[in-house]
Structure formats: structure tokens, C-alpha cells
Amino acid sequence: MPVPSQIIVLVGLMGSGKSRIGKELARLLNLPFIDADREIEKAATYTISEIFERFGEKEFRRGEKEVMLRLLSGDAKVLASGGGAFIQPEIKALIKQKAISVWLKANLETLVNRTSRSNRRPLLQVKNPAERLRQLMEERYPTYAEADITVVTDQQKPQDTAWLIKTELDRLGQDKETDT
């Protein structure tokens, strides 16, 4: 199996499976896996929650943009982006130019279930996290829908979703060959 020569960027809301599925996909494709949130934490020397608490969301987004621009300039890899990265026009444009984007789509029930296992998500530190997720879905899903590939992750094992993405990547590669 040939190794993809592009960066594969996983986009979607928190709880959609970007990190877990990303690790599986990277293993399957024999590519490095990078989690943008971990890279942001390394660069800032603070956790995401601490960045939000100390500096606010605007400063977090500035740092996220800086890190994503750096990560999108390297070699082929599987990159799990933060939930808000693809929403930023400059990041989305660069992803469209330099990578293949994969939207990991999940329904509200799935997202609520998965995100309730952790209190490390600053945007969900509100009275009603399910309502906040619903709002984020309304705001972000139209932009996520612009991704090159969409895969539904509800009730899917990360390994099965990774295989599904690989199949779609293979199909995209074949489509490009027939277009030439």
C-alpha cells in the first residue's frame, strides 16, 4: 500500500474522535500522528484549559493558528486539529491547499456521551454542556461540511472508522489518477 504523500487533517467537534481515530489511521497508513491540541500545549507550556483561563479564547485561537500553520508546512502525517481550527478562514484555506480534510461527524448524543468523560474542555465548562454542543454543531457543521471527506463516527470503533477513511482516501487517489 502506498503511503499518502499529503497531510490528512481530521476536523470535527470535541468528542468526534479526532485523537483516537487519528492514532488508528496513522498506524494504518504508516504515518506519524500529531495532535494539534498537544502541540499548542507544548508551545504555550500551559494546558488548553489554562490558556483559556489565563488568556481567554481569543489568545488561544491566535496560538492555535500559529501552531496549525507550522504543522501544515511539514511532511505527510495524520493531524488531529482542534474543533475550532477549520472554522478559522486562514487555517481552512491552508488545509484546502496543502492537505486532505476529513470531517468526523457525530450526533449530539454521541458528543455529549464522549465529552462527559472529561472536564478538560473549556468550551463545555457551562451550566448545560449539551446545549453548548448543540450550539457549536449549528455554528460549525456547515463549515465542517466543506471537508474533502465526511465520515460518521457514531457507534463506530476507532479502528473501523480508520479503515473507512483509508477506503475513502484510496478512492480519492484513484479519482485523481483518472482525472489526469
User: Using CA of residue 162, residue 99, residue 82, residue 140, what is the dihedral sign?
Assistant: negative
Q: Does domain 7-170 have CATH number 3.40.50.300?
A: yes
pTM as predicted: 0.88
Convert the pLDDT of each residue in 156-172 to its tens digit. 899 999 999 999 999 88
Question: Which of 7-16, 21-30, 79-88, 122-131 is least confident?
Answer: 122-131
Q: What ranges do the domains of the chain cover?
A: 7-170
Does residue 1 surpass a pLDDT of 70?
no
Q: Nearest to residue 79, comparing CAs of 58, 99, 107, 61?
A: 99
**Could you say which DSSP state residue 147 is in?**
S
Q: Where are the alpha helices (DSSP H) in the chain?
A: 18-29, 36-44, 48-55, 57-71, 89-98, 108-115, 129-144, 158-179
Mean pLDDT of 23-32: 96
